[in-house]
């Protein structure tokens, strides 16, 4: 699990530090009136938040996932699971069994898009059924694969395979990067596949080339050139809005902003820039490892920060937010 070690981007930040919220000395209403709830994945969330897909398959992943599930259920936010590849390959399913802990929130299963060649639509069906997930997240991780000695770099047919899953799976499909962000052309191509949501997973948080570099010497040497690879979360978001901006909100995929979000103020900045949901990943891992109470409290802090920030710029609801709230 990536809790420690030097795995951050170097010389590249989320870009959100350069975005400033237009604070108000006079919010104009009581903090109590703020309502962060939103509709997503066919249900109502307590806040426009997703716990990003992270861990699964190993022994210690179980308790972490259980803790994050308890937090998600408590605050009514969406919950992503780590890659289910090991599950499909016969690994221990225990760490993925969180549906009973988080019965009322959207649960998202996860798989590498490049592995669709291997597992096919059948594998997707199996994964969604066994995890009792509400949706499937397919992640794009080209550079992460490329720096690995045995990485799977057959990305030639990935787009077509994503479109097939969208057409055949029967639950919403989400496409995401893993921390290098997306170009406008990537977003455009994903929209055409019909995915229900796009998570830019921008740069500024975890750098997956560096993570692989810690696992293997050769990968480490190669990864050294990619410490500032990719698009920042801010730039990815702006690029995505350039593509999605014109489409009516109900006729385009949900836009999810993740990648290095440090707190609720970063989250509100992303909402102002156009995101529908925000994802927190590594920020929650340490609390998750300490158990359900700490995870629930850590997630509660993030949501409370979002609530205060929304109020502090004079807004009441996520749907109020826009670039007019930026300084």
Ligand X SMILES: Cc1cc2nc3c(=O)[nH]c(=O)nc-3n(C[C@H](O)[C@H](O)[C@H](O)COP(=O)(O)O)c2cc1C
Residues within the interface to a second copy (CB under 8 A): 11, 17, 21-33, 140, 142-143, 146-147, 153-156, 158-159, 177, 180-183, 185-186, 189-190, 218, 221-222, 224-226, 228-231, 235, 262-266, 301, 304-305, 308-309, 311-312, 314, 327
- Rounded-to-integer distance, Cα 136 and Cα 74, Å: 22
- Rounded-to-integer distance, Cα 175 and Cα 191, Å: 10
Q: Taking the mean position of all CA atoms in its chain, how far away is CA 100? A: 22
Locate 87 and state its tokens: 């599950």
Q: Taking the complex as a whole, how short is the minimal distance between the CB of residue 286 and a second copy, in angstroms?
A: 13
Residues 22-81 that bind ligand X (CB under 6 A): 52-55
Question: Among candidates 86, 81, 108, 107, which has minimal Cα distance to 96?
Answer: 81
By CB under 6 A, tell whether 140 contacts ligand X: no
Q: Taking the complex as a whole, how short is the minimal distance between the CB of residue 184 and a second copy, in angstroms?
A: 9
Return phi, psi of residue 95, to 5°.
-70, -15
Exactly one of 282, 292, 303, 315 binds ligand X (CB under 6 A); that residue is 282
Choose between 97 and 152: whose C-beta lies nearer to a second copy: 152
Alpha-carbon distances of 50 from 145, 163, 231, rounded to whole Å = 25, 23, 21
Q: Could you say which of a second copy, ligand X, none residue 283 binds, taking C-beta under 5 to 8 angstroms by partner kind?
A: ligand X
- Three-state DSSP state, 195: coil
- Rounded-to-integer distance, Cα 298 and Cα 286, Å: 10
Exactly one of 123, 253, 259, 318 binds ligand X (CB under 6 A); that residue is 259
| Binding region for ligand X (CB under 6 A) | 1-2, 52-55, 82-83, 110, 137, 139, 176, 178-179, 201, 205-206, 258-261, 280-283, 285
């Amino acid at each position: 699990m990536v809790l420690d070690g030097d795995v951050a981007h170097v010389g590249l930040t989320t870009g959100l530090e350069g975005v400033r919220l237009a604070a108000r000395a006079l919010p104009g209403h009581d903090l109590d009136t703020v309502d962060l709830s939103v509709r997503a994945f066919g249900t109502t969330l307590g806040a426009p938040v997703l716990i990003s897909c992270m861990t699964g398959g190993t022994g210690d992943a179980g308790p972490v996932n259980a803790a994050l599930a308890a937090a998600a259920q408590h605050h009514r936010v969406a919950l992503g699971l780590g890659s289910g590849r090991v599950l499909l390959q016969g690994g221990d399913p225990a760490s993925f069994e969180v549906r009973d802990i988080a019965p009322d929130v959207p649960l998202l299963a996860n798989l590498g898009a490049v592995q669709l060649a291997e597992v096919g639509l059948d594998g997707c069906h199996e994964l969604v059924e066994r995890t009792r997930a509400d949706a499937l997240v397919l992640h794009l991780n080209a550079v992460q694969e490329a720096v690995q000695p045995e990485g799977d770099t057959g990305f030639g047919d990935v787009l077509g395979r994503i479109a097939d899953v969208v057409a055949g799976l029967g639950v919403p499909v989400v496409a995401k990067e893993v921390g290098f962000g997306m170009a406008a052309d990537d977003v455009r191509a994903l929209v055409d596949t019909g995915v229900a949501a796009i998570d830019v997973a921008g740069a500024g948080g975890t750098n997956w080339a560096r993570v692989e570099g810690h696992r293997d010497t050769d990968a480490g040497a190669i990864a050294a050139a990619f410490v500032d690879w990719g698009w920042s979360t801010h730039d990815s978001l702006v690029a995505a809005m350039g593509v999605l901006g014109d489409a009516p909100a109900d006729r385009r995929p949900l836009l999810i902003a993740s990648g290095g979000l440090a707190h609720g103020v970063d989250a509100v900045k992303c909402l102002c820039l156009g995101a529908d949901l925000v994802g927190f990943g590594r920020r929650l891992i340490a609390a998750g490892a300490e158990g359900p109470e700490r995870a629930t409290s850590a997630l509660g802090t993030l949501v409370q920060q979002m609530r205060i920030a929304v109020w502090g710029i004079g807004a009441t609801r996520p749907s109020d937010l826009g670039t007019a709230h930026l300084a």
